[in-house]
Structure formats: C-alpha cells, structure tokens
C-alpha cells in the first residue's frame, strides 16, 4: 500500500471516516474536499464526525453520506463510549483525522478502521499508518488557505489534484419556514431586503468597534434601503447589547442558537458584513455577497474561499501590521488591538459599495 494509491485502490462502497470536530469555519471549509472526493468516486461512503452543536452545518449535504457524533453532553463518558461503539459498527476502511486534538486521537484510535491517517505534525504519530506531510510542500505554496490544507490530505492519498471548488452548505425546508416567521417578527416585510451584520468574534483582536457597527448599520439603511439585522451566537448577546446601547434604539436582533436557523437567515440576505468568524464562511458557502473585517488573523488562511471571489463578490478589509498574524487571544504589541480597531468606517463603506455594485451587475 502506498499513500498515492490508497483511495483509488479501495473496494467499491468502502466507508471513509473523516474527523473534523469543530469549529464552524473548519467544517464548512471541509466541504470542497468532500465534493472533489464524491465527484471522483461516488461509490465511496463519506462519513464525518463532528461535535453535535455543528451537525446542522452538514445536514442535507449531497457529499456527506453520514454525520456521526463525537459524543458530548452531561454524561460525557457514556456518550463518548456510545460514539465509539457506533463508529466500530461501521467497519471503516480508512479514518482520516483532520482535527489533531486529544478527542480526535481517541476516536481515531478506537474507531476500528484498518488504516489511520493523520498529519505528520500531530501528536502520537505511531497511531497512524500514514502521515501526511506539510500541506504547503504538497502544493508547493508558502501559504495555504484552510480549504487547501484540508484538501491536501486527500490529494496525498491519491485524489486527483484539481481546482478546489467553493464550500457549500444547504438550508432545510424546516429552517426556511422558521426564518419566514422570524423575519416577520423582526418587522421585515416579504419584499424587504436586509443586510445581516455579525459583530461578534472569538477574540477582542477580531472585533471591530461596536460604535462603528452602529454607524455602518444606519448608513446602510439610509443610503441603500437595506434593513440591518444584527446577529450573534450563543453567549454573545453582550456585543449586541453594547451596539444597542450605542445606537440608543432597539435593534433587529437575531440570536439563534441553531446553525440551521442562522443559515436560513443568511441564505436570503442581500449582504453579509461581519468580523472574521465562522458565519462569514457560512455566508460564502451560501453564495451571499460579503464583506469581512480582519484583525489579528491571516486573511490569506482564513479569508473567504475561493480567493478573489467574484461570484458572489467578497471583499476583505484589513490593515496590516508587522505583528500580524498573531495568536489573537490578546494584543502582544499595543495597549489595544490596533489591527482591528484601526479599520475605519470609510474603508468598510468602500468595500460594501464595491460588493453591492458587483453583485447588482451579476444579478
């Protein structure tokens, strides 16, 4: 067995287990590789393990044959054991660990697959029969986007190398119906176009100033007629409170706890504007025009995919500093994260105008 022939030599209807537990962006950006795999060998069964809270990102996806749980919840040990038993019953031919953390190592070790694959920088290298080298060497590029990095594992295993397509996610009829009711409760008439503004992010170094989001929303409604809808995920309501306090008036707030519901709102938006975060990748995967504001992280690695997206149009707004990119958990150079806070309202307005004009020309 050689890595370059592994996937080609698998018998028909073999099951492949891919472990990508979290988070939103990583899971969404796995879908291009899954599409390439199924387009090449539709007879193979692609099963993906994710944490339960991210399951809805892959539900209804034509390139995913089965979504399996990593085992979470209040009775974690029992749930994890149940997850392992479910994996072993599937009799996987190959397990590809794309995550690398302790939980993914445990699931890889216990899944029962005959062949286990991981990247060579992962811990416990003896666990794997095949170690994928540095993805940058595989493609011969100094920097790789996350979508390229994940596809490289399959290229190394024999998937014919070709252009990596855009990511895709899908919205269920149930969630579409939910959004029709929810948008009405926000005061959006059936014909109203709206902009979904997502001001939350994992770290302060990725969060544009709340008062600038207030000004942006008011400008969009005044100059373009788009109704601003401000969104956040679980545990992020404080950022919407800050924006509402700064605006002095109630916001249209979307505080969905389910990713499927959030995807339904994204699917109908005229424009997405937000910080570097998972929802930006969801918007791109739903083919929505978008503007993404970057701070501490690398837009070359985490920007909208594909790069230079023109259909739908996408724009990154970022001011580069010598210290960028960094870990982002705090600012290591300045008293405050200048990388994100230095982005001006004018820069974002200019990007929005460009994206709206391009998307109008393409529609």
* pLDDT tens, residue by residue, 205-251: 999 999 999 999 999 999 999 999 999 999 999 999 999 998 888 99
Task: Give the side-chain half-sphere CA count within 13 A for 136.
Answer: 6
Among residues 228, 240, 247, which one has the least CA distance to residue 199?
240
Beta partners for residue 16, in sequence order: 46, 94
- Residue 363's pLDDT is 58
Among residues 281, 332, 328, which one has the least CA distance to residue 24?
281
Beta partners for residue 19, in sequence order: 49, 97
Give the predicted TM-score (pTM) of the model.
Answer: 0.95
CA distance 145 to 101: 20
Full set of structural domains in the chain with CATH = 3-156 (3.40.50.2000), 173-362 (3.40.50.2000)
- Which residue's structure tokens are 């339960």? 52
Q: What is the mean pLDDT of the chain?
A: 94
* Alpha carbon distance, N-terminus to C-terminus of the chain: 50
User: Alpha helix (H) ranges present in 74-128?
Assistant: 76-89, 102-110
Q: What is the pLDDT of residues 53-89, one digit of tens each?
A: 999 999 999 999 999 988 776 667 788 888 899 999 9
Q: What is the pLDDT of residues 260-317, one digit of tens each?
A: 999 999 999 999 999 999 999 999 999 999 999 999 999 999 999 988 766 789 999 9
Whole-angstrom CA distances from 85 to 81, 107, 221, 233 are 6, 10, 53, 32
Contact 270, 289 (CB under 8 A): yes
pLDDT band at 21 (very low <50, low <70, confident <90, very high): very high
Hey, what are 141's tokens? 């590029």
- Residue 257's pLDDT is 77
Gyration radius (Cα) of the chain, Å? 21
- Residue 104's pLDDT is 95
CA distance 34 to 36: 5
Q: For residue 211, what is the DSSP state? A: H
pLDDT at 334 over 80: yes
Contact 207, 199 (CB under 8 A): yes
CA distance 54 to 25: 10
Residue 172: asked if its preceding bond is cis (omega within 30°), the reply is no
User: Alpha helix (H) ranges present in 163-256?
Assistant: 173-185, 210-224, 237-247
Q: What is the pLDDT of residues 132-149, one digit of tens each?
A: 999 999 999 999 999 999
Over residues 173-195, the mean pLDDT reads: 96
* Residue 5 backbone dihedrals phi, psi, to 5 degrees: -115, 5
């Amino acid at each position: 067995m050689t890595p370059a022939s592994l996937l080609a030599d698998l018998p028909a209807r073999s099951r492949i287990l891919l472990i990508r537990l979290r988070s939103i962006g990583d899971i969404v950006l796995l879908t291009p590789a899954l599409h390439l795999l199924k387009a090449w060998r539709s007879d193979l069964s692609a099963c993906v393990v994710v944490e339960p809270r991210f399951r809805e990102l892959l539900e209804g996806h034509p390139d995913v044959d089965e979504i399996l749980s990593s085992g979470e919840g209040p009775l974690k040990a029992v749930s994890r054991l149940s997850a392992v038993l479910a994996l072993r019953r599937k009799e996987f031919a190959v397990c590809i660990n794309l995550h690398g953390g302790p939980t993914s190592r445990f699931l890889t070790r216990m899944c029962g697959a005959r062949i286990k694959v991981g990247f060579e920088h992962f811990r416990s290298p003896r666990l794997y029969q095949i170690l994928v080298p540095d993805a940058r060497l595989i493609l011969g590029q100094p920097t790789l986007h996350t979508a390229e990095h994940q596809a490289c594992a399959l290229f190394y295993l024999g998937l014919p190398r070709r252009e990596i397509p855009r990511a895709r996610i899908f919205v269920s009829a149930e969630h579409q119906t939910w959004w029709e009711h929810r948008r009405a409760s926000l005061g959006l008439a059936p014909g109203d176009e709206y902009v979904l503004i997502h001001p939350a992010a994992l770290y302060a170094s990725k969060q544009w100033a709340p008062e600038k989001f207030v000004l942006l929303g008011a400008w969009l409604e005044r100059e373009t007629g788009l109704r601003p809808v401000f969104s956040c995920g679980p545990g992020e309501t404080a950022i919407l409170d800050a924006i509402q306090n700064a605006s002095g008036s109630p916001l249209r707030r979307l505080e969905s706890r389910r990713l499927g519901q959030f995807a339904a709102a994204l699917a109908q938006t005229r424009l997405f504007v937000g910080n570097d975060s998972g929802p930006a990748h969801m918007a791109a995967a739903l083919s929505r025009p978008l503007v993404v504001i970057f701070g501490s992280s690398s837009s070359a690695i985490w920007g909208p995919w594909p790069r230079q997206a023109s259909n739908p149009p996408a724009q990154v707004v970022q001011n580069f500093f010598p210290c960028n990119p960094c870990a982002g958990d705090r600012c290591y150079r300045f008293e405050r994260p200048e990388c994100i806070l230095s982005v001006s309202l004018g820069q974002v307005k200019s990007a929005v105008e460009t994206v709206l004009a391009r998307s109008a020309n393409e529609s």
